Structure 1
Amino acid sequence: MSSAVEFHQVRKEKKRKNRPKPDVGADAISVEGPVPVAEEEEVQHEEENEDKCHRDSDEEKDDAREARDGDDAGDGAEETAPSAKKKKKGFGILTSEPFSRLPLSDLTMKAIQEMGFENMTQIQARAIPPLLAGKEVMGAARTGSGKTLAFLIPAVELLHNIHFMPRNGTGVIIICPTRELAIQTHAVAKDLLKYHSQTLGLVIGGAGRKGEAEHLAKGVNLLVATPGRLLDHLKNTKGFIYKNLMFLIIDEADRILEANFEEDMKQIFKCLPKVCWQTALFTATQTKQVEEFACLSFKEKPIYVGVDDGRSKVTVEGLQQGYCVVPSNKRFLVLYAFLKRNLSKKIMVFFSSCNSVKYHSELLRYIQIDCFDIHGKQKQQKRTATFFDFCKAQKGILLCTDVAARGLDIPAVDWIVQYDPPDEPKEYIHRVGRTARGEGSEGNALLFLLPEEVQFLLYLKEAKVPVKEYEFNEKKVPNLQSHLTKFLNVILQEKIVGENYFLSQSAKDAYKSYILAYNSHSMKNVFNVHHLNLKDVATSLCFVSPPKVNLDLESSASKFRKKTHKIDGGHHGISASNPYGRQKADDQRQFARY
């Protein structure tokens, strides 16, 4: 376990000869400029997502929609890549406009100064003045641009200027798509309200509803909420006073719609008082669905403020992005070697399912690599504690699903590793937005792709995402496979009861979840489940041969697919007479029902 993995930038004149050329033009990706991942460098890793369960209550809706619904469905090289902790000037996030030029109260200015802010970012300079003037605003800015303060400062000033008191109930509601983003927004609002008398509250799925209701009854002037729990309180909490609502803020509107909260939002609008409250809608990506939702949200034509117009790329300047093409059976070995060599870094690794996060975190700990893990199946208290622990850590590895992909501001993340591919380029952008956040920040991103998935690069190019190719040296991949395979195979065959037995069961769940998550991809022309070599997939999870799992790909795809629109896809070939699905002559697939 002492061998290492080497990554090299592949330049145009040095194409790999041992691998078939991808179906991507020579100009499909950028290969110029500095090498972000040099020969002896490590990559970090996060795991994500698990079986998306049906929830019976409104408070549990938030959980089910946060994770990708695709479930059920070393030695170190020397560091040459820039650390995300380094800062450089000239990335254009900050302006020369100080907060002191805004007509803000002394109490708010004192809090801003103590938070360490002097000048505004572009989105703040463009959004705060019209919001202070009471205008409707639709804001668009890339992640890490400071949009949280862009809407919180006007919200706090509004409550302060009209002397809003607890007995008046709730004057400002901020809706966030995930619990973690709501918790983080609440923390920033708490700092901003430090010298004000107005009250602050948080209502999210997974927390104690009774305690929230009691707090609302006492009067919460500024409320941060997730859609499902907010709707629950609007309908069922008698002491919740919201008739005096003055300002409604919707953060990450595109994510709210992706998570199928649109119906909840319509119900929320029906419950709110029929008055002309001020509305602000913020998003990282503009879509037709967001534009249609904006028509429902705004009482009058909003002022559009954006900072991305005319940019040659949608990701920040300080982000070095690359991909490596790795056969399925080598994926975990490459990941292990990368993590082993980057133990001094702060890394996030994204997975497609909660079961995958759970299994890989258990496996890494078993082979002496400590890590954090966050996914949608954890209890809220556990998720919150892990989130703050990782935020405070100077180094560490976080395995997660897309629960952590949007809006969260985790300090000084060095690497974003997408071990399982995103559903689409927009999801890729949100994942890598967890690093290189803020003025002058730098970070690195690595995308794992199978040889059959390289067409995804065309879509990244079309979305203005520049990625370079990195190559790993197979000869230096650690020879872990035989050891890990033997270990798990003995467990499966002998049915040893105990910790190891449960690890083998976890591996089986992860295998099933990976296949179902893969089958739920909307881009079927790129991520086709029938192109997977299931024997190699099983090998990446330390199985000798694919375990038999109960799969129904047709129903699982529709059940766990994130998007509600119809997508193209072929038949899986599974029937009562053919329980293994469509097979080639040399195929070792194990799609089975039992």
Structure 2
Amino acid sequence: MADMQLEDGESATFSSLGLNDWLIKQCQAVGIRRPTPVQYHTIPAILQGRDCMGCAKTGSGKTAAFALPILQTLCEDPYGIYCLVLTPTRELAIQIAEQFRVLGKPIGLKDAIIIGGMDTIKQAMELSAKPHVVIATPGRLADHLNSSNTFSLKKIKYLVLDEADRLLEPTFSEDLETIFDALPEKRQTLLFSATLTDTLEKLQEVCMNKPFFWQSKAEIATVEQLDQRYVLTPAQVKDAHLVHILQTILNEHPDHSILIFTNTCKNCQLLSVMLRELDFPCAALHSMIRQRERMAALVKFKSSVAKILIATDVASRGLDIPSVQVVINHNVPSSPKDYIHRVGRTARAGRGGMALTLMTQYDVKLIHAIEAHINTKLTEYEVKEKEVLEILNEVSVARRGADVTLEEQEFGERRLINKRKQLIRDGKDPDRELHRKKRRRKKKLSS
């Protein structure tokens, strides 16, 4: 851990980092002119063949920090499967694959995305074709390793854990064990996240050699351009405050895109039904809808067809949606780390943005913990209570209607039935698998 360095290099160029001309030209073609601090410090170490741990704020260019040196060494000795990238969410895997494709286009890069919700047979065929880079979520890749012998990970040169602290939580431990058993001992391991400090010892165990470690020196864990506010609201009228805030923002800034985070899939779906009933153009993103619906929601939001995206924490990690001007926390995250990742979806790459957190009387301690962790105070967002009261009845009726809609759709029950069917199709015992997941959740809560 002796390699802590200062955040300089603002005037550096990619050529000074040792990157090839074709990569520099490709960076310029996609609008990447100069290296960010995390790229400036980690790319040379990766090119030297060292294991690496990089910790920097969201929107700081971490994906390119590992993609560029991997592509450079790949073009010198091309073979498949050369690199494995693991991520905690499907959407992040797709986003990383897109960046690899764009940067690796001049060398005809072949990639495979191995995530849940997609055709397993097609994925197995892609893996057997030996793509250069595999981008995967742990659960689906572990399933392929357990059920197929048509591909091998024994020759990979790079293992990348993006959002590494999240991947090393107990939720993924069993799947990661399966994956690590399939990897060669001699490999280069790269770990990146916006929040690494609380799991440094565990992360070091994953690295085979003494890793190069670089962390942004900023004392404030969130970016300076982010305007961080809170709204104090009684729990019973939280939804009315949310609707009033949305009306205010969209009336003043019709072109703004707003990302709303909530704590459960059911609340996410319920809010989306309620807001659509109130004529807000919105989409929902959570793990209880099909993958194609999740992708459609992101496309609608990115293209501004839907100005509002309601999401669980599946959208809080690494997703780059440049147009987000406002992030609203419908619930206060129980962990300051989760708060950092959520609000990091706005004020990216030097742009401004606002994060609003709806705080009830039960959330004061959580807000204080967040403020202490990010080393900054949240300021109050002024709400016109009279206007909130005027819409309270309308919002309550819409909320009750949304509750009825979810009951009629048997929300949750259909998901359980579909999950059991999928496990049976995959040749697994559904009762055993669901019991195993319950054990994981208990282990996570007790740790």
Query: Where on the TM-score scale, by shorter chain, does this alignment land: which range?
Result: 0.7 to 0.9
Does the aligned pair in 2 maintain the 1:200–1:222 contact within 8 Å? Answer: yes
* 1:560 Cα offset (Å): 9.4
Residue in structure 1 matched with residue 381 of structure 2 by the alignment: 470
Task: Measure the CA separation in 1 of the matches of 2:125 and 2:163.
Answer: 28
**Which amino acid letter does the alignment assign opposite residue 411 of structure 1?**
P
- Which residue of 2 is the match for residue 64 of structure 1? none
CA RMSD of aligned residues (A): 2.6
SS for the counterpart of 2:159 is: strand
How has the CA–CA distance of structure 1 residues 501 and 281 changed in structure 2, closer, same or farther, with 3 Å as cutoff?
Answer: closer
Conservation of the 8 A alpha-carbon contact between 1:136 and 1:280: yes
Retained in 2: the 8 A contact 1:337–1:478? no
Q: Deviations over 1:292-345 (max 9, x none)?
A: 2421x11111111111x3x33110010000111101122111111111222321
The answer on 1:350 being equivalent to 2:261 is yes
1:465 shift after superposition: 3.8
2:143 is aligned, of 189, 214, 232, to: 232
Q: Is the 8 A contact 1:124 1:146 kept in 2?
A: yes
Provide the residue aligned with 1:441 in structure 2.
351
Residue of structure 2 equivalent to 1:106: 21
- What SS class does the counterpart of residue 246 from structure 2 fall into? helix
1:452 is aligned to 2:362: yes
Cα distance, 1:509 vs structure 2: 7.0
Q: Distance in 2 between matches of 1:474 and 1:560?
A: 44
Stretches of structure 1 lacking an aligned partner (at least 5 in a row):
1-91, 492-499, 511-557, 568-594
Check conservation: 2:260, 2:308, Cα contact below 8 A: yes
What is the TM-score when the length of structure 2 is the normalising length?
A: 0.86
Tell me if the contact between 1:390 and 1:396 (Cα under 8 Å) persists in the aligned partners: yes
Larger RCO: Structure 1 or Structure 2 (Cα < 8 Å, ≥ 6 residues apart)?
1
Partner of residue 83, structure 1: none
Deviations for 1:363-386, whole angstroms, at most 9, x for unmatched residues? 111121110110110111111122
Contact 1:174–1:223 under 8 Å retained in 2: yes
What residue ranges of structure 2 are gaps of 5+ in the alignment? 1-6, 413-437
- Equivalences for residues 5-404 of structure 1 within 5 A: 95-162=10-77, 164-165=78-79, 169-258=80-169, 260-273=171-184, 275-295=185-205, 297-307=206-216, 309=217, 311-343=218-250, 344=254, 345-393=256-304, 396-404=307-315
Q: Which has the higher helix share?
A: 2
State the alpha-carbon separation in 2 of the partners of residues 241 and 561 from structure 1.
30
Q: Percent identity?
A: 35
Amino acid at match of 2:313: D
Shift in alpha-carbon separation, 1:481–1:461, aligned structure 2, 3 A: closer
Change in 2 beyond 3 A, CA 1:238/1:432: same
C-alpha change, 1:506 and 1:437, in structure 2 (3 Å) is farther
Shift of 1:507: 11
Count of residues in Structure 1 that have an aligned counterpart in Structure 2: 412
Residues 299 and 480 of structure 1: CA distance in aligned 2, closer, same or farther (over 3 Å): same
- Secondary structure class of the residue paired with 1:452: coil
- Partner AA of 2:39 in structure 1: Q
**How far does residue 101 in structure 1 lie from its aligned partner after superposition?**
2.3
Q: Does 1:431 align with 2:338?
A: no
1:355–1:506 contact (8 Å) kept in structure 2: no
* C-alpha distance 465-264 of structure 1, shift in aligned 2 (>3 A): farther
What displacement does 1:234 show?
2.4
Letter in 2 for 1:209: T
Deviation of the 1:160 alpha carbon: 0.5
8 Å contact from structure 1 (residues 351, 418) kept in 2: yes
User: Structure 1 residue 178: deviation in Å?
Assistant: 0.6
Query: CA–CA distance in 2 between the matches of 1:412 and 1:467?
Result: 23
| Matches of 1:352 and 1:294, distance apart in 2 | 30
Kept after mapping to 2: 8 A contact 1:93/1:145: no
Deviations 1:529-585 (A, max 9, x none): xxxxxxxxxxxxxxxxxxxxxxxxxxxxx8896872538xxxxxxxxxxxxxxxxxx
Partner residue in 2 for 1:13: none
CA shift in 2, pair 1:95/1:280, >3 Å: same
Partner of 1:479: 390
Residues 339 and 507 of structure 1: is their aligned pair in 2 closer, same or farther, counting only changes over 3 Å?
Answer: farther
Aligned amino acid, residue 332 of structure 1: D
The one-letter amino acid of 2:213's match is Y
- CA drift of 1:281 comes to 0.9
Question: Partners in 2 of 1:132 and 1:445 — Cα distance?
Answer: 37
Q: Which moved further from structure 2: 219-228 or 279-288? A: 279-288
CA–CA distance in 1 between the matches of 2:61 and 2:319? 11
Q: For residues 384-422 of structure 1, give each alpha carbon's deviation from its aligned partner in whole angstroms, at most 9, with x where no partner exists.
A: 122133123287100010010111111121100001111
Q: Describe the SS at the equivalent of 2:381.
A: strand
